[in-house]
């Protein structure tokens, strides 16, 4: 694997610079699937938020195709594990991280914590972070000294620390907005440890310590990055979804609109609360200055609210009565807006391809996107609307219920 954590310096000296969805992508954060995927078993699919078993070797090949497409377009690819390896070389940070990781992983008994501390103590920073993500099976710790009732009670569950197989969806644990991040609260406890990695990277990695915080993981209401789209340097869209609570949307909006970033409006998209539409970006993404791809099944039930800064730093919230294209046109000050429908507008094709993230595109520059090759009807609809589509294999990665946008977190984009 190529390792590259140098700053590009292409457009900014900031570590985070994301003021749009389509500007030339300069730096992106990924996580290549690892042993954690092999630790998914049928009995615990629901617990780990998967619908199917993923074949690791093929998923790695597909992910490498994705990363190579990005590099071929001049994008700097940064890996989460490399950044964590950098900071875990500091013994104090390593000890702090492991203690917090064990507590959030429910490994809280004294005997188990001592055994895990000893187990991880012999690992290099790279092996340690890989193992934290992969999970620790019960048969890997042979010498736990019982020091509490919890150490003594028999438990058939096969892990002392759960694997973290959703980590290859780097869009969700935090979100880049302007020159800062929303460090998120995940809606399901299974995924909350994912945000620990972002917490330590943004607290301790020298490259990222200047990033502002628009939300923090110690808050009470969930918000996930797949629901956050930075449409322009004036407008941010946030989904109220199966995974994001309206209170969190309001709090992020308050911090953004009262900052000096220049954002003027947050559009809150209230989408149906279904696993199939778990985030806004699974049904709606931006592909060009005035073009968006959308799953037609959400258009009729969709409610949109505009949030702007009112008097005395209060928020002004208004229900938007117009159709989505009109709402986007007005708030983004565009002559017109074109909505490109998933499945080419065909009801059956749209439902099938939305399930495998046909609307979950990753724009790498205006009018150029990366998509799964399996969503061929949607991809053809994009091409008919003058969008250049780059494709890669999607046999296994799509089983995790996320597409190219879900798997990537932009850190730096060109300004428009």
Query: Phi-psi bin for 135: left (phi > 0), alpha (psi -120 to 50), beta?
Result: left
- Ranges assigned E (strand) in 178-314: 180-183, 212-215, 228-230, 235-240, 265-270, 284-288, 291-294, 303-309
In this predicted model, what pLDDT tens digit does every residue of 348-362 receive, in sequence order?
999 999 999 999 999
Q: What is the pLDDT of residue 13?
A: 65
Tens digit of pLDDT for each residue in 68-114? 999 999 999 999 999 999 999 999 999 999 999 999 999 989 999 99
Least confident of 29-38, 59-68, 151-160, 384-393: 151-160
- Output the pLDDT for position 313: 82
Residue 33 CB contacts under 8 Å (≥ 6 apart), including other chains: 54, 56, 59, 60, 63, 165, 168, 397
Query: For this structure, is 342 an active site residue?
Result: no
pLDDT score at 6: 35
Long-range contacts of 136-141 (CB under 8 A, 24+ apart): 136/160, 136/161, 137/39, 141/112, 141/115, 141/116
pLDDT digits over 298-352, tens only?
A: 988 899 999 999 888 899 999 999 999 999 999 999 999 999 999 998 999 999 9
pLDDT at position 8 over 70: no
% the chain with pLDDT above 70: 97
Give the Cα-Cα-Cα angle 259, 229, 265 (nearest 5 degrees).
Answer: 45
pLDDT tens, residue by residue, 203-243: 999 999 889 999 999 999 999 999 999 999 999 999 999 99
pLDDT at 42: 85
Residue 12 has a pLDDT of: 56
150 has pLDDT over 90: no
Q: In the prediction, which pLDDT does 335 show? A: 97
- Give residue-wise pLDDT tens across range 39-51: 988 888 888 878 7
The one catalytic residue in 17, 132, 371, 406 is: 406
For the cut 70, the answer to whether the pLDDT of residue 4 exceeds it is: no
246-293 tens-digit pLDDT: 999 999 999 999 999 999 999 999 998 877 788 999 999 999 999 999
Check residue 190 and give its pLDDT.
Answer: 85
The mean pLDDT value of the chain amounts to 92
Q: Which of 57-66, 265-274, 370-379 has the lowest mean pLDDT?
A: 265-274
- State how far the Cα of 229 lies from the Cα of 237, in Å rounded to an integer: 5
Beta-bridge partner residues of 237: 229, 267
Residues 170-206 pLDDT 10s: 999 999 999 999 999 998 888 999 999 999 999 999 9
Judged on CB neighbours under 10 Å (0-12, 13-18, 19+), 297 is buried
Report the range of poorest mean pLDDT among 52-61, 143-152, 251-260: 143-152
Collapsed DSSP state (helix, strand, coil) of residue 7:
coil
58 pLDDT tier (thresholds 50, 70, 90): very high
């Amino acid at each position: 694997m190529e390792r590259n954590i140098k700053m590009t310096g292409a457009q900014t000296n900031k570590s985070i610079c994301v003021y749009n969805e389509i500007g030339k992508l300069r730096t992106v954060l990924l996580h290549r699937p690892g042993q954690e995927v092999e630790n998914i078993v049928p009995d615990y699919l629901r617990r780990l938020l998967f619908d199917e078993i993923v074949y690791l070797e093929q998923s790695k090949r597909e992910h490498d195709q994705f990363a190579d497409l990005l590099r071929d377009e001049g994008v700097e690819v940064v890996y989460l594990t490399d950044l964590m390896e950098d900071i875990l070389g500091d013994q104090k940070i390593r000890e702090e991280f492991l203690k917090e990781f064990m507590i959030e992983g429910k490994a809280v008994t004294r005997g188990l914590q001592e055994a895990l501390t000893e187990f991880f103590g012999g690992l290099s920073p790279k092996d340690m972070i890989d193992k934290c993500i992969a999970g620790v099976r019960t048969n890997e710790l042979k010498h736990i000294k019982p020091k509490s009732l919890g150490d003594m009670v028999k438990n058939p569950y096969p892990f002392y620390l759960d694997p973290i197989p959703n980590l290859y969806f780097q869009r969700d644990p935090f979100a880049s907005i302007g020159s800062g991040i929303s460090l998120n609260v995940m809606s399901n406890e299974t995924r909350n440890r994912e945000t620990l990695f972002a917490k330590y990277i943004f607290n301790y990695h020298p490259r990222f310590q200047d990033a502002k915080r628009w939300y923090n993981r110690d808050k009470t209401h969930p918000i996930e990055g797949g629901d956050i789209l930075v449409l322009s340097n004036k407008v941010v869209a946030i989904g109220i979804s199966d995974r994001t609570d309206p209170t969190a949307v309001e709090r992020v909006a308050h911090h953004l609109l009262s900052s000096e970033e220049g954002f003027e409006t947050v559009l809150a998209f209230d989408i149906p609360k279904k696993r199939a539409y778990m985030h806004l970006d699974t049904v709606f993404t931006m592909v060009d200055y005035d073009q968006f791809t959308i799953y037609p099944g959400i258009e009729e039930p969709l409610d949109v609210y505009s949030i702007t800064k009112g008097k005395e730093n209060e928020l002004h919230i208004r229900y938007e009565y117009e159709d989505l294209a009109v709402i986007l046109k007005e708030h983004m000050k565009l002559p017109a807006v074109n909505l490109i429908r998933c499945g080419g507008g065909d009801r059956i094709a749209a439902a099938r391809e939305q399930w495998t993230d046909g609307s979950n595109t990753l724009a790498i520059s205006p009018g150029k996107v990366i998509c799964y090759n399996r969503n061929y009807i949607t991809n053809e609809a994009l091409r008919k609307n003058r969008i250049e589509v780059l494709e890669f294999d999607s046999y296994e990665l799509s089983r995790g219920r996320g597409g190219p946008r879900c798997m990537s977190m932009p850190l730096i984009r060109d300004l428009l």
